Amino acid sequence: MPLAYLLLGSNLGDRAATLSQARQQLGETAGTLVAASGVYETAPWGLTEQPAFLNQAVALRTALSPTELLAACLAAEQRAGRTRHVRWDARTLDVDILFFDDVVLDTPALQLPHPRLPERRFALVPLCEIAATMRHPLLHCTIADLLAACADTLPVERVS
């Protein structure tokens, strides 16, 4: 079964409980969780005038297609009360698909690997914890290499 890497994020409500519930729901609806990073408090990226996020990377073995996995991620967001009004605004839950095996996909609904991953320390730090030696299928470097080269200087602090 394919291995997908997801980034979970929350900056509204009980952030830790939201991440826990998302892990449980995704494990029940999308596949088997095989790894999870620690939880990191991170500064908001994009729109900076909002509360700090908790972020966590997870690895999931799934029988779903990339599009079906996206639907499961969106369902988890909706179940957590996510509403979409402004891009990068505060949210109860955000679930991004970072990688789906070495699939490269570019559709209006889904781009794989996640196109902004190399720019985002808040995603690279937790992902590096569980997949440091994984190679990016387009950039041909490891996640550890991407983190070392990342110009983002926003704080990323492990909290659990």
Task: Given the residues 84, 87, 89, 91, select the one marked as catalytic.
Answer: 91
- Tell me which H or E stretch contains 75: helix 66-79
State the helix-helix crossing angle for 66-79 and 15-29, rounded to 10 degrees.
Answer: 140
Spacing of C-alpha 91 from chain mean position: 14
Alpha-carbon distance of 118 to 73, in angstroms, equals 21
94 flagged as catalytic: yes
Name the active-site residue from 15, 79, 89, 94.
94
Annotated catalytic, 79? no
Catalytic annotation present for 96: yes
Q: Say whether 91 is catalytic.
A: yes
Q: Could you say which of 15, 23, 96, 121 is catalytic?
A: 96
Q: What are phi and psi of 28, to 5 degrees?
A: -85, -30
Q: To which residue do tokens 């009980």 refer?
A: 14
Cis previous bond, 115, omega within 30: no
How many angstroms separate the CA atoms of 135 and 95, rounded? Answer: 21
Candidates 82, 135, 145, 152; catalytic one: 82
Q: Which residues are catalytic?
A: 82, 91, 94, 96
